[in-house]
Amino acid sequence: MTPTHVSRTSPDLPTSTSVDPIDVAVIGAGPAGLMAAEVLAAAGWRAQVYDAMPSVGRKFLMAGKGGMNLTHSESAGQFVARYGERAHEVGQWLRRFGADDVRTWAHRLGIDTFVGSSGRVFPVDMKAAPLLRAWLARLRASGVRLHVRHRWLGWESCATSDGVHGLRFATPHGELDVRARAVVLALGGASWPQLGSDAAWVPWLRERGVEVAPMRPANAGFEADWTPHMRERFAGQPVKSVTLSLPGGQVRRGEFVISEHGIEGSLVYAMCAPIRDAIAADGHATVYLDLLPDWPLERVVGEVSRARGSRSMASHLQSRLGIAGVKAGLLRECLPRETFDSPAALAAGIKRLPLTLLRTRPIAEVISSAGGVALEALDARLMIGALPGVFCAGEMLDWEAPTGGYLLTACFASACVAGDGAITYLASLR
């Protein structure tokens, strides 16, 4: 039965509500919500999907603008390790739907994929839109109904005496009540709220006794106290072939970008969690850059110590070490002026350049968020212990991962687990 619209704000609209409950309501039409609906439809359950935005998959499309990174081709062990403190839990989801399954799923939608030089997996055309169009066509053909401009407002009632969940939605026609036997929440985190992930759901779950960890930026850039010269001269320039380390021993190699505010980019995102945690503990974090990771310190000392005659220090570093441009700018920015008078001290700075980071960029502009529904509040099927029949999937759960296809793969995987859980739950009601 199609739910009846209800107005609580306009006397000109009807005030009736849906009487017969639907089987399952999926709230959120991003990758996790759509995948949960697909799993349910494949098992014969007619899922109804509700989303606040005028169209579905908006963050999915935005993420694909730079090339739709679907997953990663590295070994399963390395892949699971990318999820850090939640590697064990996410690893369980990936047994249900892992990186190879993502590629198979895309191929069955008619989308060919390839593995890039970094090991990341992309559609051949590098675009998200064709994949989403094919996916939506298949979902509609399987009986999935999509309701856009339906913003969830929380619970009409947590669970009625007959075990049905009452849900409230704001729609262009007024307020709508929907009753559902099972619910899959796939509401996203707190990044990019303009695309629908605004974490408005947090108080509604906490009111029902669900533990929700505070939202924090993930895959975020960090702010540094750049001088005007550094900001104006080098913002937007990449810093390539370096390592970034923290005092605790974490070391990663890659590249990043100087931003107007500080640093961002793939290397920074990969180290986001420990940097963010250090800032939370101490009010700032000092990271160390090795600008010449393939050179031993002794060789750097030897080259810096060579006589430079009438050449400037900038020319000397460029000719002997290949350090110029943004790397030379970082040296001037981060080292005391007197360091350049000591070859040993300068070489040490090149190999371990300290950079103080002050804070993450605002959560609204970062790629993803950490925090969310605590996994301890859920069972193995991702059903909320305090709300039988309500399942959670995707970025609204408390896990995080770097960029590289890991985010999307785990969103898909968690949705498959939640969808399976909802199927089992619905079957138990018969």
pLDDT of residue 157: 56
Percent of the chain surpassing pLDDT 70: 94
236-262 per-position pLDDT tens digit: 999 999 999 999 888 999 999 999 999
Distance CA 111, CA 290 (A): 40
Question: Does the pLDDT of residue 10 top 60, yes or no?
Answer: no
C-alpha distances in Å from residue 281, one per residue of 15, 47, 86, 277: 52, 44, 21, 6
Question: Does the pLDDT of residue 15 top 50, yes or no?
Answer: no
Mean pLDDT of 26-52: 97
Range name among 63-67, 123-127, 275-279, 354-358 with the lowest pLDDT average:
63-67
Residue 121: its H or E element: strand 120-123
Question: Does the pLDDT of residue 195 top 80, yes or no?
Answer: yes
253, β-bridge pairs: 243
Mean pLDDT of 107-112: 97
C-alpha distances in Å from residue 133, one per residue of 54, 65, 128, 149, 259: 15, 15, 9, 19, 35
Question: Does the pLDDT of residue 1 top 70, yes or no?
Answer: no
384, β-bridge pairs: 378
118-131 per-position pLDDT tens digit: 999 999 999 999 99
72-131-364 Cα angle (round to 5): 70
Find out whether 13 and 179 touch, Cβ atoms under 8 Å.
Answer: no
Domains and their CATH numbers in the chain: 22-218+369-429 (3.50.50.60), 222-360 (no CATH)
Mean pLDDT of 279-285: 96
pLDDT band at 19 (very low <50, low <70, confident <90, very high): low
Q: Where are the alpha helices (DSSP H) in 255-360?
A: 266-270, 272-282, 297-305, 313-321, 325-334, 343-351
Distance CA 107, CA 291 (A): 41
Mean pLDDT of 338-362: 97
Mean pLDDT of 34-48: 97
Residue of higher predicted confidence among 5 and 334: 334
Question: Does the pLDDT of residue 343 top 90, yes or no?
Answer: yes
pLDDT of residue 28: 97
Mean pLDDT of 135-152: 97
pTM over the 0.95 mark: no
Mean pLDDT of 379-385: 98
pLDDT band at 63 (very low <50, low <70, confident <90, very high): confident
201-231 per-position pLDDT tens digit: 999 999 999 999 999 999 999 999 999 999 9
